[in-house]
Amino acid sequence: MKINKFISFIILACLVACADLQDAMPGMSYSDRTLLKGVQACATYSMQKAVVDLDKQAIGEEFWLSNKREFQDFEMILKKLKKEDELTELVALLNQTTEEVLKLEAQSFNAQISTLHVSEDPEYLMESGFRAITDYYMGNLKIQGHVGDTMLKVMQENGAQEKFTNLLKLYNDIPYQESPIEFVLHSKLSSFLLNELSDRMAFHEKELRTNPQLRNTQILKKTFADYDYM
């Protein structure tokens, strides 16, 4: 009699546990739920590493160089007008801007990763390539507009926006100017920063996929072990 009661208790406990797991992520198998946690852990790990990589980097300078062709005439004219020092100051302010934006937004990035509803099949994300998780999250996080707003606010506070506006006006007001520049600096800079962030995330995702020694939590070890590249 006691044995029957004990067996009944064990069965009931298992049923309750299974129900709790199903309620946590309805419609998903236990293996899919585990994969999903691993996918989320990978995105969090990669994002945190990417932010550290970009901290203190001269992102503003890299951005300016990436637009060298578009700014070629702009720089040439301003140098002739003895504004070279102001251009140098502007680029330095853009470096400060991106550094400050990363500090302000890093917590928001990780919070959105932890709360994003992943509608894609987690197994597909695990099998679709070295940067599949990065591309999914960066494509679905609602951060572009907010980062742009933060970028503009910081630029207004540190003087970068005013300096760029004044230099742009000086250039565009030149008589007989055939190609005036129309350039929304904060928007372009925020897009560049997010592209750099995405590339660094992808780098760390690939490292996590290919180097088991970097998997510093049980969920990462458990999730990626079955997908190791031979």
Q: Is residue 99 part of a domain?
A: yes
- Mean predicted lDDT score pLDDT of the chain: 86
Binned at pLDDT 50, 70 and 90, residue 214 comes out as: very high
| Whether the predicted pLDDT of 89 surpasses 90 | yes
Q: How many domains does the chain have?
A: 1
Q: Is residue 77 part of a domain?
A: yes
Binned at pLDDT 50, 70 and 90, residue 229 comes out as: low
pLDDT digits (tens, 9 = 90+) for 15-28: 334 433 333 445 55
Q: Is residue 14 part of a domain?
A: no
Q: Is residue 9 part of a domain?
A: no
Note down the domain range covering 202: 30-225
Q: What is the mean pLDDT of residues 184-199?
A: 96
Can you tell me the distance from the alpha carbon of 217 to that of 82, in angstroms, rounded to the nearest whole number?
56
pLDDT digits (tens, 9 = 90+) for 36-58: 999 999 999 999 999 999 988 99
Q: Is residue 19 part of a domain?
A: no
Binned at pLDDT 50, 70 and 90, residue 14 comes out as: very low
Q: What is the mean pLDDT of residues 177-197?
A: 90
